[in-house]
A and B are shown apart, each in its own frame.
Chain A
């Protein structure tokens, strides 16, 4: 091998290495799973928006808005996770100063949530069937309320499922400890007979 050939082979090696490195850097991690879930959520958001537009006010409008906002929150959290993936920003969540780690029995929990969702979808089908029997009136409104309530339950549960699936912590609303200074019924020291 003469000098020129050696130089050429070195150049080829450098070029090949550079191509490999550049290819490696441009390889965006797969967000296929999140994309699929986001698509489903977006379809549901469209459906919820149509329902919201149907009502100008009242209980049905409130229920529809609750569902819409729940779905929008789900979408935002999934998009945040997806963007983090795509831009190589490692996302970590801290709750009360401690880093969130997915539960060890995640698969079991996911299965339970899937079962619950399946059951709720059956309830929804029944409620929709019942609702279709009424053209209007009080019974019609009541049956529509039932449909909206089940739809909300599905939205809440699905949010929980998706966040668990993608290792995003689920924030539950827990009652805050009483801060109004309202004392409890506490016994005072001493024998009861001396308090009479």
Chain B
């Protein structure tokens, strides 16, 4: 009888330990890959800004910046998530500061990036730093840095097109990559 009680108590402690360890084991904010839309909604204390069967979007603020949080789903499974900067600046160079701020917090959490680079596709503004923001906005310059964990690829990007800049921090599930690719291929085929 004593043996049974001992086993039961040990089992209970093991369950509690597992519960405590796994409670904070989130991938992005309070979510894990594969969660359903309803589960993601339940995890967010925010009001939904936009939603459909492919994504859920919220407005929030992180590290003092206004951002959209977007969760992407395939077959009602969370496969990808993003922070998209919603702030605007009259001086486009200020977006570089935003990019660096995001990079700094990602380094703090995930360590040094596996890739950290900026690429000049066109050198027109390269010699004048004050025009680098403009260079990004017209696609001449791109900033990016990447991190990798066991199940997630994280990318920090600053890019632009048609004088619009986008600063994005993206989280992508490694395990769901294949499913995402299949869904993309199917969508491409359906369009033909």
A contact set with B: CB distance below 8 Å: 181-189, 192-193, 195-196
Residue of A nearest to B44 (CB): A188
Assembled-state Cα–Cα distance A61/B49 (Å): 41
Main secondary structure of the interface of A (DSSP, over half): loop
Q: How large is the interface on B (under 10, 10 to 19, 20 to 34, 35 or more residues)?
A: 20 to 34
A183 and B47 contact, Cβ closer than 8 Å, known pairs A192-B63, A193-B105: yes
Task: Sort A-B residue pairs by CB-CB distance and give the 8 closest, nearest first.
Answer: A185-B66, A183-B47, A187-B61, A185-B59, A185-B61, A192-B63, A195-B62, A196-B109
**Count of CB-CB pairs between chains A and B under 8 Å:** 40
Q: Determine how close the nearest CB of chain A comes to the CB of B157; give it in whole angstroms.
A: 15
In the complex, the answer to whether B61 meets A196 with C-beta atoms within 8 Å is: no
Tell me, yes or no, whether B46 is within 8 Å of chain A by CB: yes
Known: A183-B46, A185-B86, A193-B105. 11 other contacts (CB 8 A): A182-B49, A183-B49, A185-B67, A186-B46, A187-B60, A187-B61, A188-B46, A188-B60, A189-B45, A192-B63, A196-B62
1/0 contact trace for B61-90 toward A, CB 8 Å?
111001100000000000000000010000
Contact with A along B158-189 (1 / 0, CB 8 A): 00000000000100000000000000000000
Whether B108 is near chain A, meaning CB under 8 Å from some CB there, is: yes
| CB-CB under 8 A for A187 and B62, given A193-B109, A196-B106, A196-B169 | yes
